[in-house]
Structure 1
Amino acid sequence: MASFQNLNLETQISENLLITQITQLHASISKLESLKPSKQVNSLFTQLVKLCILPSSIDIQALPQEVKNMRESLINLCGQAEGLMELEFSTFLAQIPKPLNNLTLFPYYGNYVKLANMEHRILKENGVVHPKKVAFVGSGPMPLTSIIMATHHLVSTHFDNYDIDEKANEAARRIVATVTESELEKRMKFETKDIMEVREKLGEYDCIFLAALVGMSRDAKVKILGHLRKYMKEGGVLLVRSAKGARAFLYPIVEEHDLVDFEVLTIFHPTNNVINSVVLLRKPMI
């Protein structure tokens, strides 16, 4: 991949080169025996991320079907690898003193800080300043957004973190439970539930975050959005993570026409090394 090494964030990459190199990386990742963190796994996914954040004019919807199929496979592989990496780091951090002081050991911690700063700014600009109660759907074993938001931005807010995987929640609880010098554990709960089975409780939240990998297909994402729309409180806001351009080889896209019966407040696409786009929605008052 000699040509890849010379690219940088200011370089516009051609669609053909982008697809060729992503296809090569997908082939290599697909052959891996395990997606657990290792030198080879880390190297391949680092190359993929660097490639996908380059400026490009690629239109995901216009791609040939075989490239779309490859993209769906790659998103699933990325999701599995991300979960395994988070679980390994969460387990490691829970075993050392003051794990929250060592979050910087996580390879993508800086990206999460930038993403949380961006999301907090967007919330603030749209009048969401001191929400009493927030839900994070798809928090995983390293609930970094909730931790960063709770400790740096929304310092009196209560966070309910939902994940379908009890193993992920156990790992997350262990990290937060070690914070004896603050009340973070009192403000942060972890629920093992499929969000489609949560109904009335969704009406308690001023703001709901929907992680990018909750609802991997368009149909699944639209069903989840419809469920949240039905049960969340009137006037409540929903922050949905999406992706644009080549970043959509890493995460699913949420299209504006998927956002039925929501008021769209903001759609923001980053151009730095933050991968996720942010879509901020409000459930209208009747």
Structure 2
Amino acid sequence: MASLQISHFESQIPADLLIADVSKLHASIVKLESLRPSKEVNNLLTQLVKLCTLPLKIDIKVLPKEVQLMRESLINLCGRAEELLELEFSTFLTKVPQPLNNLILFPYYGNYLKLANMECKILIENGVVNPKKIAFVGSGPMPLTSIIMATYHLKSTHFDNIDIDEKANEVARALVASDGELEKRMKFETRNIMDVKEKLGGYDCIFLAALVGMNKEEKLKILAHINKYMKEGGILLVRSAKGARAFLYPMVEEHDLVGFELLSVVHPTNDVINSVVLLRKPIF
């Protein structure tokens, strides 16, 4: 079976060709001794991202069981590789003068910049202007979204970054500590989101990173938990994926959003990978 070639006929390429190529890449990634950044890891993941951002129509839900299992494995592998890349890069930046001035060196900085711009636009379009307090769940070792938003868009908003990994928070804290003004508005808390309860009621807006809740069951539990404790009228922004991009990140569908009012769904067609789902907890 021929491999995919990027061309002006992209949208007419059959889905089975995509699946064949994604499966080959998965087989190569599984065999890697380590997912830490290296020439081989970077090359395989770059190929995968290029494949999965082709404008192909593919319905993930109807794929055979073995392809679904491969997809779940791939999401976990990519998530781990992403975490290791961010940890290595963030650790490196904390050792140079003015680390926040060098964020642009991060390979996916431009992608995060576009995603943050898109998310801020969606928030404004839905009446969320200058929220006082935001929680970012799953902020990781390099909290780029929070940093970009706090620096360029939401210049008076307080950000609580919540992550389950203390090492990730430690590095992120050191990164932000280089900017006194930003440090005042940005806190880092090591918690499992399922253990955060009443505090969730204090946020105007909560962001849920794509890799918080790696499978459907876990994601639904987290959504139900946030819905239970967030304030009425509060906003939840959930990152998702659509089509071939769902080989990289978990997918959240409309029927998963029980108890929420759906405000907006945006599926990018550029190099931004994540879809954005904006929700509101109804006021009773």
**For the superposition of Structure 1 and Structure 2, which TM-score range results when normalised by the shorter chain?**
over 0.9
Give the structure 1 partner of residue 72 of structure 2. Answer: 72
CA offsets, 1:215-272, max 9 Å, x none? 0010000000000000001100000000000000000000111100100000110000
Matched, 1:207 2:205: yes
The CA deviation at 1:140 is 0.1
Give the structure 2 partner of residue 30 of structure 1. Answer: 30
Q: Counterparts of 1:274 and 1:153 in 2: how far apart (Å)? A: 19
The CA deviation at 1:73 is 0.2
Give the structure 1 partner of residue 239 of structure 2. Answer: 241
Q: TM-score, normalised by structure 2?
A: 0.98
Q: 2:136 aligns to what SS in structure 1?
A: strand
The CA deviation at 1:9 is 7.7
Q: Counterparts of 1:239 and 1:90 in 2: how far apart (Å)? A: 25
Q: Counterparts of 1:169 and 1:189 in 2: how far apart (Å)? A: 9
In the TM superposition, structure 1's runs of 4+ consecutive aligned residues that sit over 2 Å from their partners are: 1-4
2:15, 2:56 within 8 Å by CA — same for their partners in 1? yes
Q: Counterparts of 1:19 and 1:110 in 2: how far apart (Å)? A: 27
Superposed CA RMSD = 1.2
Identity of aligned residues (%): 73
Q: Counterparts of 1:217 and 1:78 in 2: how far apart (Å)? A: 14
Give the structure 2 partner of residue 189 of structure 1. Answer: 187
Q: Counterparts of 2:20 and 2:210 in 1: how far apart (Å)? A: 25
2:3, 2:21 within 8 Å by CA — same for their partners in 1? no
CA offsets, 1:6-47, max 9 Å, x none? 405872232011000000000000000000000000000000
Give the structure 2 partner of residue 268 of structure 1. Answer: 266
Gaps of 5+ in 2: none
Which of 217, 225, 233 lines up with 1:219 in the alignment?
217
What is the letter of the counterpart of residue 10 of structure 2? T
1:9, 1:54 within 8 Å by CA — same for their partners in 2? no
Matched, 1:160 2:148: no
Q: Counterparts of 1:10 and 1:130 in 2: how far apart (Å)? A: 43
Q: Counterparts of 2:253 and 2:117 in 1: how far apart (Å)? A: 23
Distance 1:174 1:40, change over 3 A: same
2:241, 2:274 within 8 Å by CA — same for their partners in 1? yes
Matched, 1:116 2:116: yes
Distance 1:98 1:2, change over 3 A: farther
CA offsets, 1:123-163, max 9 Å, x none? 00000001000000000000000000000000000000000
Gaps of 5+ in 1: none
